[in-house]
Each structure stands twice: as C-alpha cells, then as structure tokens.
C-alpha cells in the first residue's frame, strides 16, 4: 500500500494474520515488503508461497524465496500485477522480459 488510506477491512480465518506494509515510494532500491517477510517466523514443513505485488517487490521476493528459503518452483508463485511509473502495456513488456531471463 502506498498510504494508510488503502487499508481495508477483510474477512479472514481466525488463525490468519495480515501485515499491512506501507511503502509510499516503491522503487528498486528498497523493499519494506521483503523486510516484513524476512521478519516473519517460519513454521516447520514445506510452505507454498503465493504473492502478487508491484514489479520491484516481486523480483526481490522471488529471489528471496528461491535462493534464501529454497522454495521449490512447484510451491512458489510470485507475480507482479503492476509496475510503478509504467502503463499496463509497459508493465506487460517488462514482465515478459523478466520472465524470459528468469527461465534461463
């Protein structure tokens, strides 16, 4: 979220926690979302990760889950739904290019 005003009331199971991360100026230089994820306690067992976020955050989260947490590809989905300062068409191009380099 870029502001506190983006916070919503969500229905969720009792054992689910929501961590609202405010990042007024998303960019490639820092990732409060990654910092929040790194601060979480990991449970035992094989996790399945699903994340949809801004492009820069997606890249650092994907790297973290793949490299530092060794989450297998079969248990990992991280996707960007938008890119700061980009149109939807620009984002699609960058996302496609990123996916191609990621698969190499």
Written as six digits, the tokens of 52 are 């949809």
Supply the CATH number for residue 77's domain. 3.40.50.80
CB 78 within 8 A of CB 51: yes
Mean pLDDT (the chain) is 92
pLDDT band, residue 102 (cuts 50/70/90):
confident
Which residue range is the domain that position 47 belongs to? 4-102
- Tally the domains of the chain: 1
Q: Cα–Cα distances in Å, from 25 out to 16, 61, 77?
A: 27, 17, 24
Tokens 């530092």 belong to which residue? 68
| pLDDT, tens digit (0-9, with 9 covering 90-100), for 4-35 | 999 999 999 999 999 999 988 877 678 999 99
Q: pTM for the complete prediction? A: 0.86
Tally of CA atoms within 13 A in the half-sphere of 91 that contains its CB: 15
Contacts of residue 55, Cβ cutoff 8 Å, sequence gap at least 6: 80, 82, 83, 84, 86, 91, 94, 95, 98
């Amino acid at each position: 979220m870029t502001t506190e005003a983006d916070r919503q009331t969500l229905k969720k199971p009792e054992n689910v926690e929501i961590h609202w991360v405010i990042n007024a100026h998303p960019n490639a230089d820092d990732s409060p979302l990654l910092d929040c994820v790194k601060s979480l306690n990991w449970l035992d067992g094989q996790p399945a990760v699903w994340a949809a976020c801004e492009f820069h955050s997606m890249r650092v989260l994907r790297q973290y889950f793949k490299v530092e947490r060794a989450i297998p590809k079969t248990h990992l989905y991280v996707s960007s739904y938008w890119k700061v300062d980009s149109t939807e068409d620009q984002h699609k191009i960058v996302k496609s290019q990123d996916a191609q380099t990621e698969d190499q």
